[in-house]
């Protein structure tokens, strides 16, 4: 490699890393995908060939440097190749959420002016065709799965493998061009553009450079000692920055293997078969897994149940300490070993987490009880705090200093500053270049010196130097009596209960707090079955008085625990309601990454919020819902409002800042 470089030995782009890996790890597996019941694999050398063929094919189709190529589909090796092939020809990949409705896609495709899209199957092809009229620059679409597409007009539609075949056939013609384009890539070239879901407003296109991605990947890989022997399961949305960093950034930097599940439904089976050593999941996945384990233990025999409960109690007592290398008595260690053999080991195996060396959760705060459950089993689950604009990493937890209530220390090469109001700012090599075609937002978020506003409020803990996040800065407010209102803190406590899927707290500027609650259909449904409670719909189950009783007891327990924290004791829930529908991204109530759009929810259900504050014990409401295919309908319901017991708090200590 003749290219000059100041830092990474000429490895200033993902395609350059690919060439290195093909040389260095040539016959080591780079990708695996389960198809037709068997794990198919591609070595780094084969991967390089596949990507080259596709890149040549793209040049052949007329892709220019600087073009945007939309990538729409679930995690498959072909899509990862597509991204790197796009980069190789000087284009910029733009991964999109594949479950977005056509409308949402139209906005992104129009905003970036994509000329090409690489999509998965007929469903995605149909969606893009539906909106194509409005996209002036849009020219060609490439699909992977030909099923059902044979009869479509193929003037501007191409099958993935045909594009590769054409690329191979035209190799002599274009290879010099490809090499020249690849050689032009530097640290400053655009690596990828990712649209942030945004809890408010339209999505913004975050432009990340090769420097952002490669330096962040390098630093984080070194931090956790990741190497070519590691295995990951790629199942998180490709449009999310985390997947890009793990499955492309770190994978290309270290040369580890990326495994793609057979389909979204088989993810748990595939996880068990692969047994990743490095695992990443949002809190929701850990919650769901834990809920499933608990449900199944409820159904288990008495002996097994008692054995499990005892083992878990012991794990809770000594597990985290053993993991952190703290001193633990000999008998306790022996007992832990025994239970590991009998309970923890098989349980971890069932969860597919036997081999996990490093596990991360991020995206949202994780309930401490959930976090401790996994750590007590001996799974090195850690938290990190990050965002798209930072190429993920802002803070991470070093081994041995892991706690549920902090998010760790600044990641390598990241500087953090907290202003007087508690707002967190950072500066790092991963700091994004700009929001595409949106200089105002860029200026609002990133100042001239490169400091980026996270929009979160938090503080460094004295003594340990760990960062604690309180909430989104704009969500943290004051209640009528001046005490602090931090909704997420309370919601997370509620969400630990398996029956509660989602909770939304209101109370800023009010006398007291109220909450919306979504029940978890799996957990509550199972409970109903065991207790002979019949129900015909989600709505009916959600309104059942016994379900309300259960939720009320959870709310009261949370109130007691909130009351222990002098800073937040004002956030106890006085009244609550169980919503008649699940909050859903299709209805705009959540983002695609499943974060609640608080303001939107408050506005949409304002009649219910009002009823919660005016003392009535029932509220009738009608709600519009959007079905998966875009049709709309309405559901009507009368909801019962319950009062919850609160713990009286005499003195309100307000935070010193």
| Chain contacts with another protein (rule: CB under 8 A) | 35-38, 147-148, 150-151, 262-263, 265-266, 269
Which residue(s) pair with 578 in the sheet?
A: 517
Residue pair 625/634 in contact by the 8 Å Cβ criterion: yes
Distance (Å, rounded) from C-alpha 514 to C-alpha 498? 20
Nearer to another protein by Cβ, of 172 and 265: the residue is 265
Give the CA distances from residue 429 to residues 151, 433, 455, 504, in Å, rounded to whole numbers and listed in that order: 49, 10, 19, 35
Q: How far is the CB of 35 from another protein (least distance, A)?
A: 7
Determine how many CB atoms are found less than 10 A away from the CB of residue 134: 11
Residues 6+ apart with CB under 8 A from 334: none
Q: How far is the CB of 107 from another protein (least distance, A)?
A: 28
SS3 state of residue 576? strand
Residue pair 387/409 in contact by the 8 Å Cβ criterion: no
Nearer to another protein by Cβ, of 119 and 619: the residue is 119
Nearer to another protein by Cβ, of 399 and 586: the residue is 586
Q: How far is the CB of 262 from another protein (least distance, A)?
A: 5
Nearer to another protein by Cβ, of 139 and 540: the residue is 540
Nearer to another protein by Cβ, of 36 and 330: the residue is 36
Nearer to another protein by Cβ, of 9 and 148: the residue is 148
- CA 75, 81, 82, 88 dihedral sign is positive
In the sheet that holds 415-418, the strands lie side by side as 415-418, 423-427, 452-460, 467-472
Nearer to another protein by Cβ, of 36 and 303: the residue is 36
Closest to 602 in 3D by CA, of 617, 583, 626, 630: 583
Q: Give the chain's length.
A: 657
Angle between helices 283-299 and 302-323 (to 10 degrees): 150
Residue pair 254/226 in contact by the 8 Å Cβ criterion: yes
Q: How far is the CB of 47 from another protein (least distance, A)?
A: 23
DSSP state of 294: H
The phi and psi torsions of 13 (rounded to 5 degrees) equal -150, 165
Nearer to another protein by Cβ, of 123 and 324: the residue is 123
For the residues of 106-117, what is the DSSP string, one character each? HHHHHHHT-SEE
Nearer to another protein by Cβ, of 126 and 364: the residue is 126
Residue pair 308/342 in contact by the 8 Å Cβ criterion: no
Distance (Å, rounded) from C-alpha 245 to C-alpha 183? 23
Q: How far is the CB of 148 from another protein (least distance, A)?
A: 6
SS3 state of residue 274? helix
Six token digits for residue 133: 């009229």
- Burial class of residue 449 (count of CB atoms within 10 Å of its CB; 0-12, 13-18, 19+): exposed
Closest to 366 in 3D by CA, of 488, 514, 516: 488
Q: How far is the CB of 286 from another protein (least distance, A)?
A: 21
Nearer to another protein by Cβ, of 37 and 325: the residue is 37
Distance (Å, rounded) from C-alpha 487 to C-alpha 482? 15
Q: How far is the CB of 106 from another protein (least distance, A)?
A: 24
Q: How far is the CB of 129 from another protein (least distance, A)?
A: 16
Q: How far is the CB of 541 from another protein (least distance, A)?
A: 19
Nearer to another protein by Cβ, of 265 and 420: the residue is 265
Nearer to another protein by Cβ, of 200 and 269: the residue is 269
Q: How far is the CB of 234 from another protein (least distance, A)?
A: 17
Q: How far is the CB of 149 from another protein (least distance, A)?
A: 10
Alpha helices for 170-282 (secondary structure H): 171-183, 210-223, 241-244, 251-254, 267-274
Q: How far apart are the first and last CA of the chain?
A: 54
Distance (Å, rounded) from C-alpha 340 to C-alpha 346? 8
For the residues of 333-385, what is the DSSP string, one character each? HHHHHHHIIIIIHHHHHHHT-TT-SEEEE-SSPPPHHHHHHHHHTT--EEEEE
Nearer to another protein by Cβ, of 162 and 645: the residue is 162
Q: How far is the CB of 125 from another protein (least distance, A)?
A: 15
Distance (Å, rounded) from C-alpha 490 to C-alpha 473? 16
- Burial class of residue 14 (count of CB atoms within 10 Å of its CB; 0-12, 13-18, 19+): buried
Position of tokens 């993810």? 267
Nearer to another protein by Cβ, of 38 and 342: the residue is 38
Nearer to another protein by Cβ, of 260 and 457: the residue is 260
Nearer to another protein by Cβ, of 74 and 472: the residue is 74
DSSP state of 411: P
Q: How far is the CB of 126 from another protein (least distance, A)?
A: 12
Q: How far is the CB of 561 from another protein (least distance, A)?
A: 38
Based on DSSP, count helices (H) and strands (E) in the chain, helices before strands. Answer: 23, 28
Q: How far is the CB of 33 from another protein (least distance, A)?
A: 12
Give the CA distances from residue 70 to residues 67, 137, 154, in Å, rounded to whole numbers and listed in that order: 10, 12, 19
Nearer to another protein by Cβ, of 34 and 580: the residue is 34
Which residue(s) pair with 274 in the sheet?
A: none
Strands 477-478 and 484-485: antiparallel
Q: How far is the CB of 268 from another protein (least distance, A)?
A: 9
Q: How far is the CB of 272 from another protein (least distance, A)?
A: 11
């Amino acid at each position: 490699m003749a290219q000059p470089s100041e830092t990474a030995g000429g490895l200033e782009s993902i395609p350059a890393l690919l060439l290195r890996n093909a040389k260095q790890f040539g016959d080591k597996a780079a990708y695996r995908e389960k198809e037709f019941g068997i794990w198919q694999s591609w070595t780094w050398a084969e991967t390089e060939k596949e990507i080259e063929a596709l890149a040549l094919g793209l040049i052949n189709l007329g892709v220019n440097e600087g073009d945007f190529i939309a990538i729409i589909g679930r995690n498959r090796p072909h899509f990862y190749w597509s991204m790197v092939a796009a980069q190789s020809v000087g284009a910029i990949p733009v991964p999109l959420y594949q479950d977005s409705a056509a409308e949402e896609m139209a906005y992104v495709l129009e905003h970036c002016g994509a000329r090409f899209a690489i999509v998965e199957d007929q469903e995605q092809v149909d969606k893009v065709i539906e909106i194509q009229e409005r996209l002036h620059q849009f020219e060609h679409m490439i699909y992977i799965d030909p099923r059902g597409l044979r009869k479509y007009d193929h003037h501007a539609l191409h099958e993935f493998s045909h594009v590769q075949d054409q690329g191979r056939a035209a190799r002599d013609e274009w290879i010099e061009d490809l090499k020249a384009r690849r050689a032009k890539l530097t640290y400053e070239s655009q690596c990828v553009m990712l649209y942030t879901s945004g809890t408010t407003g339209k999505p913004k296109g975050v432009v990340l450079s090769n420097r952002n991605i490669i330096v962040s990947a390098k630093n984080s890989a070194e931090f956790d000692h990741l190497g070519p022997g590691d295995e990951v399961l790629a199942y998180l949305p490709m449009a999310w920055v985390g997947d890009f960093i793990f499955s492309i950034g770190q994978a290309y930097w270290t040369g580890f293997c990326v495994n793609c599940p057979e389909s979204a439904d088989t993810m748990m089976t595939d996880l068990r078969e692969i047994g990743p050593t490095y695992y990443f999941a949002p809190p929701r996945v850990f919650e769901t897994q834990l809920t499933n384990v608990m449900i199944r233990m409820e159904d288990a025999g008495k002996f097994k149940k008692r054995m499990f409960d005892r083992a878990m109690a012991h794990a809770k007592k000594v597990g985290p300490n053993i993991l952190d290398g703290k001193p633990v008595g000999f008998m306790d260690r022996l007992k832990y070993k025994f239970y590991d053999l009998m309970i923890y080991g098989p349980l971890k195996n069932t969860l597919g987490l036997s081999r996990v060396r490093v596990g991360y959760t991020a995206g949202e705060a994780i309930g401490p009880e959930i976090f401790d459950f996994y750590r007590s089993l001996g799974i090195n689950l850690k938290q990190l705090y990050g965002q798209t604009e930072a190429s993920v990493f802002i803070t991470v937890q070093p081994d041995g200093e892991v706690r549920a209530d902090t998010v760790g220390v600044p990641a390598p090469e990241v500087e953090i500053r907290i202003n007087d109001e508690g707002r967190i700012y950072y500066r790092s090599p991963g700091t994004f270049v700009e929001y595409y075609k949106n200089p105002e937002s860029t200026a609002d978020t990133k100042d001239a010196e490169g400091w980026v506003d996270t929009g979160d409020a938090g503080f460094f803990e004295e003594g340990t130097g760990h960062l604690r996040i309180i909430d989104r800065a704009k969500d943290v407010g004051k209640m009528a009596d001046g005490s602090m209102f931090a909704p997420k803190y309370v919601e997370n406590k509620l969400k630990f209960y398996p029956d509660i899927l989602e909770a939304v707290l209101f109370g800023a500027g009010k006398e007291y707090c109220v909450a919306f609650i979504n029940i978890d259909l799996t957990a509550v449904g199972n409970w109903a079955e065991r207790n002979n409670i019949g129900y015909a719909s989600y709505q009916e189950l959600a309104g059942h008085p016994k379900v309300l009783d259960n939720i009320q007891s959870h709310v009261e327990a949370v109130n007691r625990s909130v009351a222990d924290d002098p800073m937040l004791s004002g956030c106890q829930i006085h009244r609550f309601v169980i919503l008649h529908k699940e909050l859903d991204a299709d209805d705009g109530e959540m983002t695609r990454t499943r974060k609640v759009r608080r303001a939107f929810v408050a506005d949409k259900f304002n009649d219910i919020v009002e009823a919660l504050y005016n003392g009535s014990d029932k509220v009738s409401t009608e709600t519009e819902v959007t079905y998966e295919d875009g049709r709309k309908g309405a559901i009507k319901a009368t909801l019962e409002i319950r009062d919850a017991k609160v713990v009286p708090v005499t003195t309100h200590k307000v935070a010193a800042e």
